[in-house]
Amino acid sequence: MDNYKIAVATSDGIVVNQHFGHANQFYIYGVQDKNFIRTEIRHTEPACVSKEHDENAVTKNLNLIKDCKYLLVSRIGIYAQQQAENLGITPFELPLMVEDALKKAVSFIEIQNLFERN
């Protein structure tokens, strides 16, 4: 299986508890086979303020994680989701413990890759 990165919107490194637009940091995990390890934390400025999103901030934050194939968030709006997908980033709404969310995402990705190879 390929090596890839997953960005996780979390305020504490324990729970996927950040809406994409409210996130001020992303924990970056490297994935190889079924194993994952946190490699860094990337700090951002929230893209949503007072229920309004700043399109430039959405773009800036997505560009910060564009080397990641996947994004785990508690929630993501349609605009940010579409922009992420345009950059080749697949977002997942998985408001779980980070470790559980990563396991679910990696399992899903593994199954998806099996079908794409056939």
pLDDT tens profile 20-49: 999 999 999 999 988 999 999 999 999 987
CB atoms within 10 A of CB 115: 7
CB atoms within 10 A of CB 90: 16
pLDDT tens profile 66-118: 999 999 999 999 999 999 999 999 999 999 999 999 999 999 998 888 887 65
Task: Identify the CATH number of the domain in which residue 19 sits.
Answer: 3.30.420.130
- Give me 94's structure tokens: 């998985």
Is it the case that residue 62 has pLDDT exceeding 60? yes
> Could you tell me the residue range of the domain that residue 19 belongs to?
4-117
Q: In the prediction, which pLDDT does 82 show?
A: 97
Is it the case that residue 1 has pLDDT exceeding 80? no
Using a 10 angstrom Cβ sphere, with 0-12 exposed, 13-18 middle and 19 or more buried, the burial of residue 11 is middle
How many independent structural domains does the chain possess?
A: 1
